Structure 1
Amino acid sequence: MVRRAVPREDGRRPTTIRDVAAHAGVSVATVSRILSGTYPSAPATRSKVMRAVRELDYVANANARGLAGASSRSVAIIVNSVVSPHYAHVAQGVQTQAALEGKLCIVGTTGGDPEREFATVQLMRQEQAECVILVGNVVNDADYRERMGEYARALALAGSQLVLCGRPALGPGVPALVVEYDNTAGAYAVTSHLLSAGHRRILFLGRRDGHTTQDSRVAGYRDALADHRVPHDPRLEVEGTMERHEGYRMVRERLGAGPADFTAIFACNDLIAAGARRALREHGLRVPDDISMVGFDDLPTAADIDLTTVHVPHEELGRTAVRLALERRRDASGMTGHVMLGTHIVVRESVRTLRGAGGPTP
């Protein structure tokens, strides 16, 4: 795509990609590839180019000129994967609301790579999307918050709005909307459901320290144990990603090391639960006769295997993200920056009540 130099109102020549390249001390091709997200991982080079972009206000000015002459008609959603049912349902909500608003929907994927996420946000900024919606799990450390905060400010300068969907806020003063659901309360409720059925040895599948979704769910699990005066045993928390094959792996390895030392499983999501159920069956264990199980998300898979789980309002998340972002653009003064949607348990037939429910040990 060729950028045409448009005179600025103050009479000064607009910044070009050549100016950015000269300022950063790299080639024009390198700048182009970094801004389009196709440059190989080279943090030092990327940092120099992005610093030059900020200092020269290159993309912000280009987008502001474009928005001044034409109304953008697109919203963007960036997800880890379009294969995961969780992301697919949120994306469907974004698409539905975008259509009602007369907007086109652009979808980008990152594969869980934060560098690809940054590059995709930059690309959506260049494409003048009215809002950029980030969905799903992320390592929300200080470096990530600082860098994404810069992108949020750049989007705002370009007339766009960053929305964090199912993620925590980036910090005070960052121009980003937050639309999330109560992971911790949902995990607390479903763990309490198991505890009320008499289970005291509850295996948590899918802990992954530093990742926002898993951290909030394991926090709810631990809070429920504490409130029911059940000692927390770190050995009952198993690390793994939120995929079906990981659920199978975690349970297979656990049972391969010896007999089950748990009476129930809290799978961090329904995909993990499905994989865990397969591993249990291979070891001759039935749900719920031998091992009780709960999940999280209430995806179609949960109903297929009769799984008690936590319902997440996936499509409402997507619809709310679009609606709030567009309303913020129309009337910034009347909008809140943070919306928390509720969750609730869907009780099916995957939990068995133990004899003497409520005692210290089953």
Structure 2
Amino acid sequence: MTVTLADVAARARVSPATVSRVLNGNYPVAATTRDRVLQAVDELDYVLNGPASSLAAATSDLVGVLVNDIADPFFGIMAGAAQSAIGETGSGRGGGEKLAVVCNTGGSATRELTYLTLLQRQRAAAVILMGGSLEDPEHLAATTVKLTKLAEAGTRVVLCGRPPAPGDTPTAALAFDNRTGARLLTEHLLGLGHRRVGYAAGPVDRTTTRHRLEGHREALAAAGVPEGPTVHGAYDRRAGYDATAELLARDPGLTAVVAANDTVALGVCAALRERGLSVPGDVSVAGFDDLPFSIDAVPSLTTVRLPLYETGVRAGRLAMGTETPSGDGPETVPAELVVRGSTGAPRG
């Protein structure tokens, strides 16, 4: 059943005119009243009616791009590429470009849902969700409800580097093959002769973390090699630096460390150097993503290349409808092993 302005007014115990003033922001309203109205809007999942031209479907010029951390090059590269592709269309009302707005969630489940609600109210033309999702059943269920409502209103929903959750029916989904990439990386280390491999993993509650760790473990199991210590942390340099101390404390004989991503790998390398250990002479280090700085690190990082820019461009075009999905389900984006100077055979 469609929720009306009158329903919101009744829930907030104010007049419909007051609700309209709060939502349109065109008249001063007491802070307590405003908070009560906004709470009612959230509880009822009310969507403000737009101009007559927007009533049938989401036809606004707004495109939302949700990222976990815009300061992380992983997200910055994809978001920038998507924005460029969105700008190619020039198909806004009156012939102008779409307005692509990057929404930085900071990894917060609450903020992600808030942004989706705001984009729903604004009748966004498209929404792109980038990166792995939080593995919390309650949050996934709430996200699915939001995405379904967006799609029903005519918004194109594109997942970029994010696997669909059960019940999700996005317009298109581009999912990175993190498992295969991680397996290839660990197989590379095993092929060099490493048998004591530590893992500086990402946050424990993220799909990307789980998939990469699963690929790593698959390679170890297939080779009959016992799993080394694993330490979880953020996807940043400090986490890699801190994880290294714990990894070495749990196994001082480690000959290799696999990092959650290239930024974490830099932290691992710094911590090893502070301990007088050389890379790769004493300990080999490998990253993931092949971020731009990886080739310029000293030594250059062995890593797994994900086509971030190309995938971001495709996500933008899929969001604009200038490119069609390649199939009915999610499309797997392949990962490629890139061997550089940070890995070598262990010392005898």
- TM-score interval w.r.t. the shorter chain? 0.7 to 0.9
Change (3 A) 1:63 1:266: farther
Task: Say what the alpha-carbon RMSD is for the aligned residues.
Answer: 3.3
Residue of structure 1 in register with 2:176 after alignment: 181
> Runs of 5+ in structure 1 lacking a partner?
1-12, 34-38, 40-44, 356-361
Which of 220, 229, 240 is the equivalent residue of 2:215? Answer: 220
Residue of structure 2 in register with 1:311 after alignment: 305
- TM-score of the superposition, structure 2-length normalised? 0.83
Deviations 1:14-59 (A, max 9, x none): 922x531423668967x969xxxxx9xxxxx988643423xxxx31
Change (3 A) 1:46 1:200: farther
CA contact (8 A) 2:66 2:104 kept: yes
Q: Work out the CA distance in 2 between the residues paired with 1:116 and 1:202.
A: 36
CA contact (8 A) 2:179 2:215 kept: yes
Residue of structure 2 in register with 1:250 after alignment: 243
Deviation at 1:127, TM superposition (A): 2.5
Q: Work out the CA distance in 1 between the residues paired with 2:277 and 2:159.
A: 40
Which of 74, 80, 87 is the equivalent residue of 1:86? Answer: 74
Which of 133, 140, 144 is the equivalent residue of 1:138? Answer: 133
Change (3 A) 1:20 1:218: same
User: What is the aligned residue count?
Assistant: 327
> Runs of 5+ in structure 2 lacking a partner?
24-30, 32-36, 91-97
Q: In structure 1, what residue type is equivalent to 2:181?
A: G
Residue of structure 1 in register with 2:342 after alignment: 350
Residue of structure 2 in register with 1:208 after alignment: 203
Which of 162, 170, 175 is the equivalent residue of 2:165? Answer: 170
Deviation at 1:75, TM superposition (A): 2.1
Change (3 A) 1:126 1:63: farther
Residue of structure 2 in register with 1:301 after alignment: 293
Q: In structure 2, what residue type is equivalent to 1:284?
A: G
Deviation at 1:265, TM superposition (A): 0.6
CA contact (8 A) 2:132 2:163 kept: no
Q: Work out the CA distance in 2 between the residues paired with 1:108 and 1:232.
A: 38
Q: Work out the CA distance in 1 between the residues paired with 2:12 and 2:176.
A: 41
Which of 263, 278, 282 is the equivalent residue of 1:271? Answer: 263
Residue of structure 1 in register with 2:27 after alignment: none
- Secondary structure of the residue that 1:105 maps to in structure 2? strand
Q: In structure 1, what residue type is equivalent to 2:152?
A: L
Deviation at 1:100, TM superposition (A): 1.4
Deviations 1:209-246 (A, max 9, x none): 3311110000000000011111224xx11121111111
CA contact (8 A) 1:60 1:155 kept: no
Q: Work out the CA distance in 1 between the residues paired with 2:3 and 2:257.
A: 60
- TM-score of the superposition, structure 1-length normalised? 0.80
CA contact (8 A) 2:257 2:285 kept: yes
CA contact (8 A) 1:176 1:337 kept: no
Q: Work out the CA distance in 2 between the residues paired with 1:150 and 1:64.
A: 25
Deviations 1:76-95 (A, max 9, x none): 20111211111100101101
Deviations 1:296-333 (A, max 9, x none): 010122112100000011112212222223339x989x
- Secondary structure of the residue that 2:210 maps to in structure 1? helix
CA contact (8 A) 1:168 1:178 kept: yes
CA contact (8 A) 1:139 1:212 kept: yes
CA contact (8 A) 1:131 1:322 kept: no
Q: In structure 2, what residue type is equivalent to 1:344?
A: E
Deviation at 1:335, TM superposition (A): 5.7
Residue of structure 2 in register with 1:325 after alignment: 319
> Does the alignment pair 1:154 with 2:149?
yes
Residue of structure 2 in register with 1:230 after alignment: 225
List aligned pairs for 1:64-79, cutoff 5 A. Answer: 66=54, 68=56, 71-79=59-67
Q: Work out the CA distance in 2 between the residues paired with 1:63 and 1:218.
A: 48
Q: Work out the CA distance in 1 between the residues paired with 2:107 and 2:14.
A: 28
Q: Percent identity?
A: 37
List aligned pairs for 1:335-346, cutoff 5 A. Answer: 336-346=328-338
Q: Work out the CA distance in 2 between the residues paired with 1:63 and 1:80.
A: 32
CA contact (8 A) 2:53 2:59 kept: no
> Does the alignment pair 1:50 with 2:42?
yes
Q: Work out the CA distance in 1 between the residues paired with 2:4 and 2:233.
A: 47
Deviation at 1:72, TM superposition (A): 2.9
- Secondary structure of the residue that 2:132 maps to in structure 1? coil
